[in-house]
Amino acid sequence: MLTDFDVLRAADAMMQQFGEHAELQAAKYADLMLGSSNRAGLLVWARIWRSIAEKRPAQTGLPH
């Protein structure tokens, strides 16, 4: 199992590589793990996905 530091490092790498699409990409990887019945992989990607979501700046203003 990955440490919290490893998850944050992976989230940072995803954000550098995919920019604003990092959260979507992490969700896709989590979905792939779910589709292949890889529970451990799903949990790792879900943690990375959540870390990316928490690191993103909060949306301000009203939705369009």
According to the 3-state scheme, what is the secondary structure of the chain?
CCCHHHHHHHHHHHHHHHHHHHHHHHHHHHHHHHHCCCHHHHHHHHHHHHHHHHHCCCCCCCCC
- pLDDT of 64 reads 64
pLDDT higher than 70, residue 63: no
- Sorted by where each begins, the domain ranges of the chain are 4-55
- pLDDT of 57 reads 76
The structure's pTM equals 0.85
Mean local confidence (pLDDT), 14-35 = 96
